[in-house]
Each structure stands twice: as C-alpha cells, then as structure tokens.
A and B are shown apart, each in its own frame.
Chain A
Amino acid sequence: MIYYLLLPFVTIGLVVFQSMLADVLFSGWLTLELSLVAVIYAGFRLDLMKGIILSFMMGFMFDGVSGSILGLFTVIYLLIFIFSFFVSSRIASGKFYLIALFSLICSLVESLILISLYHFVFEFDMLNNVLLVFVPQALLISVLSVGFFYVMRKVEGLMYGKTMRPPQRTGTGRISAEA
C-alpha cells in the first residue's frame, strides 16, 4: 500500500529531477529520460498492476512537467511498459548488454511515435532532429539503463535481503503487488 502512496511523490520527484539535471548538463539539448528507464525497469521487475500504475503516473507527470500534450507520454510509457513486460520473459535483466540494447530500442520506438504523431497530427517534420537529438538521447538512455538496473539490483538486495531472481516465463521472481 505504501508503494501506491509514495508513487506520486516519487514520480514527480524523478521527473522534476531529470528535467533539471538535463537543463544543467545539456542546456535543454537532450532530455535525460530517467522516467523511461524506470518504466523499462518496471516492465522487467514489477508485476503488471504495480508497473502499469507506475507507468501511468510517470507518463502523466512527465506530460504535466514537460509541457507536452497531456496523455502523450502517458500512452507512450504504457506501451513501452507493456512491451518491456512481455519482452522481460525472454531477456534476463541481469545481462546488462541486453538491457542496454533493449532500452536503446525502446527509446527509438518512443522517438518514432513522437515523430509520427507530430507528422500526422500537427504536420510538423521532426526528422531533422533524428541524428542530432533522438539518436544521442537513445544512446544516453541505453547507458543510463545499465546504471539504473545495477543500482536497483543493489537496492532490491538491501530491501529484500537478496536480489530477486530474474523473472521467468511463469512470472515468478517479480516484485508483486502485495510486497
């Protein structure tokens, strides 16, 4: 229960933190999307209920703080979470190179959705930003994801006494909604 109570504060804190950090480090050039990494992590490590709420909250807060169209990142994060959730049964979260690769793909998918949406809805061409913004951002997220997964593994170890086993197809080893 405490998870659901803390979630709004944690998500808003993370979103604000990442936008401020991105401002300091990249002066608005790139977005340091820790929230996306958190959603991918949720897809790998949390159960469906916890994960979907986290993704919803994260996307919603990100929409609110970043000033994008309300619901845009909420939908994207939900899609990425579902994608990660189903892929997690095929990829072991302990293999960091696979996590990095998967995060890279997720980030590119996110960029693709954004480009498509802006192209079809607003008729705004964002393709010229691909090499300059989206690719570096995807690479950054893939690097960040490795660090995030590593840290979270340690945190899990501290919280639960030992690291939870990688999830199997059966779904065991996940942090359940009751935990």
Chain B
Amino acid sequence: MFFKNYRTIIFVGAIFTAALILLSYSLKYDSGTSFVKKLVLEAAAPVQKMLNASIEGVSKAWTRYIHLVELEKDNRILKNRIAGLQTELILYKEGYLEAQRLQKLLSLQNDYHHSPIAARVIGREQAALSKTLWINKGSAHGLKSGMPVIVPPGLIGRLTDVSWHSSKVLLLIDENSNVDVLIQRTRVHGIVRGAGSRGCVVRYVSKIQDVKEGDVIMTSGMSNIFPKGLLIGKVSHVDPMDVGLFLKIQIAPLVDFTTLEEVLVLVADQQEIFAEKKTTK
C-alpha cells in the first residue's frame, strides 16, 4: 500500500541515489574507461558512424560550394586579367609591327640620295576617279608638291597638294598619275599610268620590244621628280593588241595601297637640287 502510494517518489529517489552513487564511484575510482562507459561508447559508435557520414557529406558539399564560389571569383578576376593582358598584347603587337614597318622604311632611307621624311597616313580617298592619301606632314616639315612618296619596297606616288601640316599623295594607281619607267630586264622605257582597281598600265612600249610577264618595272629617273631605281611593280599581263603600235602591258604594284599606314617622302638634298639647277642653266 505504502509502495503503491509513493511509487513515483521512491522511483525518483532511487534514480537520484543511483546517479549519485555513480558519480561518487567515478570520482573515487576513476579508472579511465570503465565498463559502463565502454558499453555506451560501443552503442554510440554505429550512430556516430552513420551521422558522421551524413554530416561529412554535407560538410564536403558545403566546402565544395565554398570552393566553387571562390573559383567563380578567381575565374572572374582571371578573365579580367586576361582581357587586360590581351589589350596590352594588342598594343605591344601594334608597336612591334609599327617598329618593323619603320625599320623597313629606315633601311630604305639609305638607298637614295634623298632625305626621307616619315609621315603617317591620316586619311585615304579611294573613289572611282581619285586614288589619294592624306599624310600628316606638310610644308612646315619641308615637303613640297611633286615629291616622291615611297613605302618598302618601292614607289607609291607623289605629293600633289601640300598644306602646312598635311599633304595629299597622288597614288600610282590614280588615273592621273604618270611616271616615266623602264623595264629592268630589257631597259625599255615606258610611261606607267594608273588604272584604278586594275593597278597600273605601261604605255608607249613598242610592239617589237621584248616584254614578259614578271618583268620588274622601276623608275627611270628621266624626270626630275622620281629618283632612278624605285620599284613600281611587276608585269602581270602583256597584250600585243591587233591594232596599234604599242603593247598593252598591265602591271601589278608591289604595294598594297589599302593597308598603308606610314610612308616616306623623299626630299631631295639641297646640294643635289642646286647641282640640278646649275646643270639646267
């Protein structure tokens, strides 16, 4: 009867007593890992293993996610760096190409008895009737109308209009352009005239002359405008023509006129000009 009435209290008291005995025993005889503890650990091990696997999975996924976020950030930074480096590379490439072009121009300078003045192409007029270039040098730099303009490997035209700080270059392919030339192999003279997009043609070469495709055409130096030996182009086609006294010779210029960026204007040396004037007199 007594036990039934105070069952709960007795049970609570027993539990408390058990806990206290356990604690007292552990404090007094602390033997490291006791049997009871071993039992608990043994029971906890599979649970721990199972939970560990799942938590580790989540943890790994989280770490991977963080890693991916970092990767994305790195990727963005690297992409920006690549863009910057590409821009830099383009600039260097541009500088390298310009240097190469200028080197060619400089190597050409020594070949003629003229003082070359380098100029940059600032505009081009490639209309049907007019094939000209604008350069950024003018009379202020010593340029005068009629001066020859060259680009490796040869002549491209001459100055026609010269202002203080810019000039107009009449290209060889302009139909108004006429240059006294000779064929290198046979030393035959002719006049090169512009033919627009077809390049140039050589006129006034007699039918009896020996002209072949591939013959090199160069300036003859007969006029006072162009020095002798400037390359112009190669013969691309020879037509004997049924009617007429002359051959119809087409030449392909050695220069691509659409890609010109820098040119050299040949300024005749003062002494030479003086000598020429003296001879004329």
- A residues with a Cβ closer than 8 A to B are 8, 12-13, 15-17, 20-21, 24, 48-49, 52-53, 56, 59-61, 63-65, 69-72, 74-75, 78, 82, 121
Contacts and interface: CB of A to CB of B under 8 A. Distances in A.
A60 B20 contact: no
B11 interface: yes
Given A71-B22, A75-B20, A15 B51 contact: no
Contacts of A121: 27
B26 A70 contact: yes
Interface string B27-46: 10010001011011101100
A64 B26 contact: no
A48 B12 contact: yes
Contact of A52 (B12, B25, B27): B12
A118 to B, nearest CB: 11
Prevailing SS type, chain A contact patch: helix
Interface residues of B, number: 30
A176 to B, nearest CB: 12
**Lowest 3 A-B CB distances belong to which pairs?**
A64-B40, A71-B23, A71-B22
A53 B12 CA distance: 9
Nearest to A14: B47
Prevailing SS type, chain B contact patch: helix
A78 B19 contact: yes
Interface string B55-83: 10001000000000000000000000000
B55 A20 contact: yes
B55 A70 contact: no
A4 to B, nearest CB: 13
B139 interface: no
B44 A20 contact: no
A21 B40 contact: no
Contact of B23 (A49, A64, A69): A69
Contact of A56 (B15, B27, B30, B52): B15
Interface of B: 8, 11-12, 15-16, 18-27, 30, 34, 36-37, 39-41, 43-44, 47-48, 51-52, 55, 59
A70 B52 contact: no
Given A49-B8, A71-B23, 11 more contacts: A8-B43, A13-B47, A16-B47, A49-B11, A60-B22, A65-B41, A69-B27, A69-B30, A70-B26, A72-B26, A75-B19
B19 A12 contact: no
Contact of B44 (A21, A49, A56, A61): A61
Contacts of B52: 20
Contact of A60 (B40, B47, B59): B40
A24 B39 CA distance: 25
B192 to A, nearest CB: 87
A127 to B, nearest CB: 21
7 contacts: A12-B40, A13-B47, A20-B51, A20-B52, A61-B40, A75-B20, A75-B23
Nearest to A70: B26
B44 A15 contact: yes
B20 A17 contact: no
Given A17-B51, A70-B22, A72-B26, A65 B11 contact: no
Given A70-B26, A121-B27, A56 B40 contact: no
Nearest to B30: A69
Nearest to A21: B55
Nearest to A65: B44
Contacts of B30: 69
A71 B15 contact: no
